[in-house]
Amino acid sequence: MLMNIKLIVGLGNPGSEYRDTRHNAGFWLIDRLAAQWHAPLRDEKKFCGDCARVRAHGRDIWLLKPQTFMNLSGKAVAALAQFYKIAPAEILVVHDELDLPCGRIRFKLGGGNGGHNGLKDIQAKLASPDFYRLRLGIGHPGDKNLVSAHVLNKPSPDERNLLEHAIDKSLQHLPLLLDGDKDAAVRALHSA
């Protein structure tokens, strides 16, 4: 299937108290991409999020940071996708990933949600799991009872550096994804 990404969503929680938490890694990437593309994000009430439209790689691409809180991310994604007739397979969701070591990156199409409430809600609202995911590893605390505190707290300075490096690498290789060269992107993103 030929990739044709029209919407890039970064997951996180709104509010200053969450700004620097691990759960907001998707927001961090969107903020960096918006700055790189000179595309200021604006609050769009009808899409329940901060978004921008950019002309890049021969098409319009939307950037979206849902402002609904993580558990309701699908509300914003579905609102924008339905309005602009963007199919699930034209969406790339960037999110924090517990099941990857901090700083690792993985890219895939579809699959489960791994207990990630943002992904779970997007799957429900789109009635499909078949969207692309860019997974930014934040590491697992080792005990499922510590997961909530882990994702809602700030990473250590070393972990933040690893995450920033992962975002740098993701942005460097994003053009491969947007140009449809999935295999080259996967090789580049998945290399240590």
Q: Kindly list the catalytic residues.
A: 23
User: HSE (CB half, 13 Å, CA atoms) of 109?
Assistant: 16
Burial of 191 per CB tally in 10 Å (0-12, 13-18, 19+): exposed
CA dihedral 45, 51, 29, 124 (to 10 degrees): 60
**Beta bridge mates, 56:** 59
Instruction: Report the helix count and the strand count for the chain, using DSSP H and E.
Output: 6, 7
- Determine if residue 117 is labeled as part of a ligand binding site: yes
* Alpha carbon distance 122, 8 (integer Å): 13
- Determine if residue 69 is labeled as part of a ligand binding site: yes
* Alpha carbon distance 140, 130 (integer Å): 25
Binding site residues for tRNA, as ranges?
A: 18, 69, 71, 117
Residues tagged in the binding site annotation: 18, 69, 71, 117
